[in-house]
Amino acid sequence: MNRSVFIAGTDTGIGKTHAACTLLHALRAAGYTACGMKPVASGCMETPEGLRNDDALALQVASSAVQPYSLINPVALRDPLSPHLAAAHDGIEISLAPLHRAFEQLVGSHQRVVVEGVGGWLVPLAPGLFAADIAKQWRLPVILVVGLRLGCLNHALLSARAIDADGCRLLGWIANCIDPDMGALEENLMTLRELLPAPCLGVLPHGVAPVVAAAYLHAAVAALD
């Protein structure tokens, strides 16, 4: 049985890719065939093979087997901007249909597909289309990655509220220690555990590679059983 999941973030630059790759390694260690996907990525680099995004490449490497890049990242955009702006600069308009076709191919050959969003929950992709619509229309449960830094409580609570308002299921949240010098770290974690309406599925320490940090995500793997 396939159980896919959408990885949302409280903001950009809070470690969605790190958490997604760590979850992929944890799923593989548990015996599942697992693949990452980043449907839309901006800030891609020109290569002889075409536009490539570092986050999408990391997901590709962390997966059970190397999949064609066009399935991992169907929409690759040049400029490091909000996707709707980067797409306009590239002369395209993002739609969900081609993204879903790539997703279905990955689902057909993997027990778990980890779909990483772009930016935060309400990042615009096109007129009337947001990153949240991927999870909504594909009916994916959501794991929220909370980057532990000053301001994370507000961002996490607002994101959880928006996920619920959009009718999506918040499966749980992963704390990612992006600021090694954050004050009152444990107190902030305790506050998040008290106030977020879903369980903590793991706390990722700062500076630990995904293949090693996978040991911290047993609860996330169990949530996808």
Domain boundary assignment for the chain = 5-223
- Nearest 5°: CA angle at 24, between 83 and 8? 35
- How many angstroms separate the Cα of 21 from the Cα of each of 33, 57, 60, 83, 87? 13, 10, 9, 22, 26
68, with CB counted inside 10 A (0-12, 13-18, 19+), is: exposed
Pairing relationship of beta strands 40-41 and 200-204 according to DSSP bridges:
unpaired
- Provide the CATH topology of domain 5-223: Rossmann fold (3.40.50)
Q: How far apart are CA 145 and CA 131, in angstroms?
A: 15
| Active-site option among 25, 28, 38, 84 | 38
Q: What pLDDT, on the 0 to 100 scale, is given for residue 76?
A: 98
| Residues 38, 149, 121, 123, CA torsion sign | negative
Q: What pLDDT, on the 0 to 100 scale, is given for residue 1?
A: 60
Mean pLDDT by 10 residues, the chain (225 residues): 90 95 98 97 96 98 95 98 97 96 96 96 97 97 96 97 97 96 95 98 96 97 94
User: Taking the model in full, what pTM does it have?
Assistant: 0.96
H-only helix segments in 38-89: 54-62, 69-72, 83-89
- 15: phi > 0 → left, psi -120 to 50 → alpha, else beta; which? left
Q: Annotated catalytic, 38? A: yes
